[in-house]
Amino acid sequence: MAQGWADQTAAEITGASTEQQIEVRQRLALLWQQRLADLVEEYPELGDEVRMWAADLRQQLPATGKDWVNTFIAGGNATQYNAPGGSITVTNRLGERIGS
């Protein structure tokens, strides 16, 4: 099953246009994060092995793929909720949607 997922992931990335590859990679990264979390939840004894495997993969990434920087700025009396790599909807105190 996992090999099929890996093959499908590789095919989606290589089949995407150059412009779409970043979006495809981000979407698939979130999908794999969930798959691995589900795996560890179902088989907790695999947790250390999955963490070591992920750390090994991070070491193999090119330098440009290892570091991510997110900057969040709020002013005034703002309350801020951040969802790096995810999504969030922002509304003002009047309940009007101002961002997504």
Whether residue 67 has pLDDT greater than 60:
no
Q: Is residue 74 part of a domain?
A: no
Q: Which domain holds residue 39?
A: 2-66
Q: Is residue 73 part of a domain?
A: no
Q: How far is CA 72 from CA 55, 69, 79, 84, 90, in A?
A: 27, 10, 11, 10, 13
pLDDT of 60 reads 82
Q: Is residue 62 part of a domain?
A: yes
pLDDT of 88 reads 57
Q: Is residue 82 part of a domain?
A: no
pLDDT of 51 reads 85
> 11 pLDDT band (50/70/90 cuts)?
very high
Q: Is residue 28 part of a domain?
A: yes
Whether residue 23 has pLDDT greater than 70:
yes
Q: Is residue 87 part of a domain?
A: no
Q: Is residue 53 part of a domain?
A: yes
pLDDT of 83 reads 62
Q: Is residue 100 part of a domain?
A: no
Q: Phi/psi class of residue 60: alpha, beta or left (left: φ > 0; alpha: ψ in -120 to 50)?
A: alpha
What's the domain count of the chain? 1
